[in-house]
């Protein structure tokens, strides 16, 4: 019985620590994206909007390719092979 309780506690604490680390990593990533957007906007708003538009198009193309059934006998080549990875 003590072994089961000990295993449960170790697993619970491990999951809590992993969740905290992942949350901190997500916050750091979000903060760095906000900083990049701020610096880019202060450098050139037009280039920032153009880059955001291109990134949106690439993500939309990745989503479209991911959820679309490929044609028979045709593999994905070029851009169609790369953009789904950005979407995932």
Domain extent listing, the chain: 1-43, 45-88
**Is the pLDDT reported for residue 5 higher than 70?**
yes
Helix (H, G, I), strand (E, B), or coil: what is residue 76? Answer: coil
Q: What is the pLDDT of residue 70?
A: 67
Task: Give 74 or 45, the one with higher predicted confidence.
Answer: 45
With cut-offs at 50, 70 and 90, classify the pLDDT of residue 29.
very high
Task: Give 80 or 28, the one with higher predicted confidence.
Answer: 28
Q: What is the DSSP letter of 72?
A: T
Q: What element of type H or E holds 17?
A: helix 2-43
Kindly report the average pLDDT of the chain as a whole number: 84
């Amino acid at each position: 019985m003590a072994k089961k309780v000990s295993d449960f506690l170790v697993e619970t604490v491990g999951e809590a620590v992993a969740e905290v680390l992942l949350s901190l990593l997500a916050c750091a990533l979000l903060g760095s994206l906000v900083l990049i957007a701020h610096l880019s906007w202060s450098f050139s708003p037009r280039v920032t909007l153009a880059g955001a538009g291109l990134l949106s198009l690439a993500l939309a193309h990745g989503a479209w390719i991911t959820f679309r059934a490929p044609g028979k006998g045709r593999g994905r080549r070029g851009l169609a092979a790369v953009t789904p990875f950005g979407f995932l």
